Amino acid sequence: MTMSAAARNFANWWSHDACAKAFWSQQECEPYQQLLADTMDWASPKPNEKWLDLGCGGGAVTREIFKRTDGKVAKIVGLDCAAANATAYRKLQDELGDPSRERISFICHDFSGGLAQFADAEFDNVVSGLSITYAESFDAAAGAWTTSAYERVLREVRRILRPNGRFVFSVNVPDPSWGRIALRSWPGLLRSGSPLRSLKRAWRMLKYGRWLKREARAGRFHYLPAVEVKRHLTAAGFGSVQHRLSYCDQAYVFQAIKAG
């Protein structure tokens, strides 16, 4: 079916099963493994903590939190706009065993609209992998995309964190090079149990990547310099902001503390 230019501009492929599944494959690749390691280094999960995995995808970060606490985490809520990730979470629970069924859950929700389903100070920490960049808001009167949803999600994360709770997240750098990531990813894809399927998903990732960069240039998505990300965090009430490069230098990993 052919879509009009307007429909293409407003389509959100993140909620589509094919898009969600395409990005599952990156978990097998060296660049993502480095990003995951850098994220978990700052996350440093402990037993009995409550975590939100915001924009969780297939649950790679959730798996690491569970494993690094020897299954003694109090709870992990994975939240993502793609319903297909519910299947990934069921498979994750099967992999991790019975304790995970009580401690790991999945919610299908687009965080661009906020996080009203969560109470104030409900979580000890929040983690997010390459996701908050895609909080989107359109001003129909002005006919333009805005940063209001991006700013709202930062405020909402702060609200649901306990005092001194940490927000550890990654975001892509301005104008990220998907080709550079792909070149470093091919060996891992070829070594995977289903290389043809993985290569197909990698091709889809590149296709979706072109869409993401096009929409970012239009102001819909937010590939921001580190100084801009820090400015937004400070405005939302976070302090002690740190960042580092990862993901073939195509992403920043941030850590910010809920001040007060």
What is the model's pLDDT at position 16? 78
Tens digit of each residue's pLDDT (9 = 90 or more) over 17-62: 777 776 766 677 788 899 999 999 999 999 999 999 999 999 999 9
Q: How far apart are CA 259 and CA 127, in angstroms?
A: 17
Q: How far apart are CA 161 and CA 11, in angstroms?
A: 31
Strand extents, DSSP E, 33-129: 50-54, 75-80, 104-108, 123-129
Tens digit of each residue's pLDDT (9 = 90 or more) over 106-141: 999 999 999 999 999 999 999 999 999 999 999 999
Residue 228, beta-bridge partner list: none
* pLDDT confidence band for 1 (50 / 70 / 90): very low
Indicate the domain borders of the chain: 13-258
Residue 33 Cα distances to 24, 154, 174, 177, 250, angstroms: 12, 25, 21, 17, 13
pLDDT higher than threshold 80 for residue 189: no
Q: Which residue has the higher pLDDT, 202 or 156?
A: 156
Within its chain, how far is the Cα of 70 from the centroid?
23
* pLDDT confidence band for 200 (50 / 70 / 90): low
Tens digit of each residue's pLDDT (9 = 90 or more) over 56-103: 999 999 999 999 999 999 999 999 999 999 999 999 999 999 999 999
Answer CATH for 13-258 from 3.30.70.260, 3.40.50.150, 3.20.20.70, 3.30.450.30: 3.40.50.150
